[in-house]
Structure 1
Amino acid sequence: MTVDAVVFDIGNVLIEWNPERHYDATIGEARRKKMFAAVDLHAINDRVDCGQPFRQTIEQAALEYPEFSTEILMWYHDWIKMAAPAIPQSVALLRALRAKGIPVFALSNFGIESFEFAETKYPFLTDFDRRYISGRMGCVKPHALIYEMLEADSGVAPAGLLFADDRADNIATAQARGWQTHLFDGPRGWAERLVAETLLTRAEAGL
């Protein structure tokens, strides 16, 4: 099938996202496990990804769980250290596609303020032709609505979209809508897929 646009997730496709790793390095694995067993920080972050205010949402959670208030506040104050580092090979693929004039979109669960902050650290986040950021859209993957919104806004038919994401549930929704998909497990496999689709040569893909 013809690919009319390539769609990148951001977290764990272009930028590593592993809050647990940062907490283990700063407060220790045992304390981190205890906190995550008591506080569903990822669910709280989902509210940010849906458009709720970043700092206010995290500060409210810190008040609700005083035993872990200092650590919960780290989710806000140390956020950019958790969303790190960039994945250089994936960034190179993004730029190689753009250089060939192939439309490239972002589709990512990301808060409004956190995305604006990330742009200051990762300039490649401005390289997309279109950016579909959940906080701005008021809904998150894997709900079908955010995929539908991308289709409607871009005007690209589902069958013409090739989407890379590291989460199987996000991929499953895209497949159900007729998108072409790639379950991302590293930049080399993604590069191979882009070559197989004849979007890039092996040299252009860094292979």
Structure 2
Amino acid sequence: MTIKHIVFDIGKVLIHYDPELGYHDIIPDPAERRWFLDNVCTHAWNMEQDRGRSWSDAEAVLIAQHPTREREIRAFRQNWHRMVSHAYEDSVQILRALIASGIDVTMLTNFASDTFREAQKRYPFLCESRGVTVSGDVCMIKPDVDIYHHHAARFALEPAATLFIDDTTANVEGARAAGWQAVQFIDAPRLVSDLRQHGIVF
């Protein structure tokens, strides 16, 4: 089916994200830093903020479990801005070229509500598509199929004519389970190739 809508993920597709960047001066030892992020401020813990949990509640949970690590736990939110260190300019160029060519572009992201608004101020291109669904706003996260259905209904997308771009295999599979077409983001040149294979020339 002809693609009518393109939906971009954001983290690791349009902007860089690496939690270790927030801890270089707080936990200088690489092995200890990695242990902390694997065992205390974990990906699973952070995903609950993407699902809508407040930072105060999130911090309270971990501080109760790791009372000697309070400073490091609170540093996750305090230093979040360091974790999104730069945009992927080649991907942003693709995003903007698609919009300029008249293709319908929206975004669907797992992101806490407050940090996403910070990211929009820092990276204006996050405001340039027709709209965005932020998981923290709707209390649903990828790859749960409900968030794809929500996004499609909100923006009047025809699922079979929608192409989703995400760096994570599970999120790509979630989109396909919702009836969308999807490609996994590897890098900008590969994305251009994938778009062309789907008949999108811009």
TM more than 0.5: yes
Shift of 1:193: 1.6
Shift of 1:175: 1.2
Q: Could you tell me which runs of 5 or more consecutive residues in structure 2 were left unpaired when the two chains were aligned.
A: none
Give identity over the alignment, percent: 34
AA aligned opposite 1:186: D
| 2:148 counterpart of 1:147 | yes
Q: Distance in 2 between matches of 1:11 and 1:115?
A: 10
| 2:84 counterpart of 1:86 | no
Contact (CA 8 Å) 1:58, 1:73: kept in 2 or not? no
Q: Cα 1:160–1:182, aligned 2, differ >3 Å: closer, same or farther?
A: same
Contact (CA 8 Å) 1:163, 1:181: kept in 2 or not? yes
Q: Distance in 2 between matches of 1:69 and 1:200?
A: 51
Equivalent runs, 1:126-145 vs 2, <5 Å: 126-145=127-146
Q: TM-score, normalised by structure 2?
A: 0.91
Q: Could you tell me which runs of 5 or more consecutive residues in structure 1 were left unpaired when the two chains were aligned.
A: 202-207
Contact (CA 8 Å) 2:2, 2:199: kept in 1 or not? no
* 1:8 corresponding residue in structure 2: 8
| 3-state secondary structure, aligned to 1:181 | strand
Shift of 1:123: 0.7
| 2:187 counterpart of 1:172 | no
AA aligned opposite 2:88: I
Contact (CA 8 Å) 1:49, 1:112: kept in 2 or not? yes
Q: TM-score, normalised by structure 1?
A: 0.89
Shift of 1:199: 2.3
| 2:42 counterpart of 1:17 | no
AA aligned opposite 1:51: G
| 2:191 counterpart of 1:187 | no
Q: Which moved more, 1:18-27 or 1:144-153?
A: 18-27
Q: CA RMSD in A?
A: 1.7
Q: Cα 1:58–1:84, aligned 2, differ >3 Å: closer, same or farther?
A: farther
Give deviations 1:36-92, integer Å, cap 9, x for gaps: 3431522221121111223x1343245222232222222101101112211101111
Q: Cα 1:190–1:43, aligned 2, differ >3 Å: closer, same or farther?
A: same
Shift of 1:187: 1.4
Q: Cα 1:198–1:26, aligned 2, differ >3 Å: closer, same or farther?
A: farther
Q: Cα 1:21–1:80, aligned 2, differ >3 Å: closer, same or farther?
A: closer
Q: Distance in 1 between matches of 2:172 and 2:165?
A: 8
Number of paired residues? 200
* 1:112 corresponding residue in structure 2: 113
| 3-state secondary structure, aligned to 1:164 | strand
Q: Cα 1:179–1:53, aligned 2, differ >3 Å: closer, same or farther?
A: same
